[in-house]
Structures are given as structure tokens and as C-alpha cells.
């Protein structure tokens, strides 16, 4: 409703603009000439007190895209001064019609554990959770992961990847994410995950903040 209201007001303003200009343009010959005379010569010397502005970077706690690696984006959260920003790899997954269906967020984990990387895969709320989430690389070595929780954004599977599994991503061409819709348990949705740019993006990613 608010969006419709804003659109209506904007449309009204746009419709009013030509009318206002038409009113002002009635007999504007002298006005235009006067304006030209008033501004004549002002471009030669710019006032010294004009502010040119300064670029504003991300503030602590603010998310931003640092770099793009082919089909992956390196998304970071600005850390307090003196601390490194936490960055993870991101890819939006679409279906055959090009509609956004899921999100793949992958990040490094601290050394010492069996998993060297973690990932949060977010799928629609209408997913059949009991069928879990299946990931395969180039059609091989499929692995199934349970969903951890659901919120307003969707249902999330939090997964861990070993060094061997990360290397599969690095060597692979395309991974797939398989989910089953709750409304049609006999069907399945296969979402492609491009691995172009994954290696460079993974090397540029960092561990989550606080790790």
C-alpha cells in the first residue's frame, strides 16, 4: 500500500512538471535572456568555498560487495577499525526460468577442525524439509544435509565442507543443489551452482567475525 501511494505521488509530480514548466515558459524569452546574462562569466572562476564531497565507505557492521569472481561475489561485513573484515562467497541460485530460488553462502573456518569451510544454503519456505538438501559436484559424490532452521527469509541448511570436498568445488565445473517442494513431494528442483571463479573467491574469503 505504501509503495502504491509513493508511486501515485511520484506520478502526480511527474504529471505536474510539464504543466509547471509550461506556465513558467509563457513569455520566458526575456527571463531566459536575463538568466543567461546573470550567469555569463561565472564559469571562468569557481568560488573557492565549494565543497567537492568525499567518498563514504562502509561503516562497521555494514555489508558490502568487495569483489566479484566470475559467478561468485565476495560479500564482506565491515569490522571495527583495526580488525579484518569477515568475507564470504555468495551466489544467487536460479531455476530454469531464471527466477531466484536459493542462496549459497560459503566461508572459511578456523584451522584445526575436520571441516575447513562452512556454508549456509537458504531455500524457500515451501520446501519439504524431510527430504533434506542434496549437493553434488559434476553429478558425482552427492551428499545430503539436514535443514537447521527456518525463518522469514527461508529454510537454512548449515553444512561443513572438508578439504577434499572444497577441492572438488575447485576442480569442478558445476555443482547442483537438489530440493523437493512440499506441495509436490514426487517432484524435485535441481538448481545449478556455477563453480567459475570459485577457487580465486575462496582464497580471498576469510573466517567469520569473532572466529
Q: Which pLDDT tens digit goes with each residue over 177-209?
A: 999 999 999 999 999 999 999 999 998 887 654
Which CATH number fits the domain that encloses residue 199?
2.60.40.1880
Cα angle 75-63-166, degrees, rounded to a multiple of 5: 25
Q: How far apart are CA 194 and CA 175, in angstroms?
A: 6
The per-residue pLDDT for 20 is: 38
Residue 53 lies in a domain: no
Q: Which residues on neighbouring strands pair with residue 158, listed in sequence order? A: 120
The per-residue pLDDT for 127 is: 95
The per-residue pLDDT for 57 is: 66
Domain count, the chain: 1
Q: C-alpha cell of 24?
A: 513558467
Residue 80 lies in a domain: yes
Q: Where does residue 159 rank: exposed (0-12), middle (13-18), buried (19+ CB within 10 A)?
A: buried
Identify the residue whose cell numbers are 502504491.
4
Residue 136 lies in a domain: yes
pTM over 0.75: no
The stretches in the chain having pLDDT less than 50 are: 1-25, 28-29, 209-211
Q: Where does residue 110 rank: exposed (0-12), middle (13-18), buried (19+ CB within 10 A)?
A: exposed
Q: Which domain holds residue 77?
A: 63-204
The per-residue pLDDT for 19 is: 34
Q: 168: closest CA among 134, 144, 142?
A: 142
Residue 150 lies in a domain: yes
Residue 77 lies in a domain: yes
DSSP assigned state of 80: P
Amino acid at each position: 500500500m505504501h509503495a502504491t501511494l509513493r508511486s501515485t505521488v511520484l506520478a502526480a509530480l511527474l504529471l505536474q512538471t510539464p504543466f509547471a514548466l509550461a506556465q513558467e515558459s509563457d513569455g520566458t524569452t526575456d527571463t531566459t535572456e536575463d538568466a543567461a546574462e546573470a550567469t555569463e562569466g561565472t564559469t571562468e572562476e569557481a568560488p573557492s568555498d565549494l565543497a567537492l564531497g568525499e567518498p563514504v565507505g562502509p561503516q562497521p557492521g555494514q555489508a558490502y560487495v568487495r569483489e566479484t569472481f566470475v559467478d561468485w561475489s565476495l560479500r564482506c561485513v565491515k569490522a571495527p577499525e583495526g580488525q579484518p573484515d569477515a568475507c564470504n562467497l555468495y551466489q544467487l541460485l536460479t531455476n530454469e526460468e531464471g527466477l531466484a530460488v536459493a542462496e549459497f553462502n560459503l566461508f572459511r573456518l578456523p584451522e584445526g577442525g575436520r571441516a575447513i569451510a562452512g556454508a549456509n544454503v537458504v531455500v524457500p519456505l515451501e520446501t519439504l524439509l524431510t527430504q533434506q538438501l542434496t549437493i553434488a559436484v559434476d553429478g558425482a559424490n552427492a551428499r545430503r544435509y539436514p535443514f537447521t532452521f527456518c525463518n522469514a527469509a527461508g529454510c537454512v541448511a548449515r553444512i561443513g565442507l572438508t578439504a577434499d570436498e572444497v577441492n572438488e568445488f575447485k576442480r569442478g565445473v558445476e555443482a547442483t543443489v537438489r530440493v523437493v517442494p512440499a506441495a509436490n513431494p514426487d517432484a524435485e528442483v535441481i538448481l545449478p551452482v556455477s563453480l567459475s571463479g570459485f577457487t580465486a573467491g575462496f582464497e580471498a574469503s576469510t573466517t567469520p567475525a569473532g572466529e
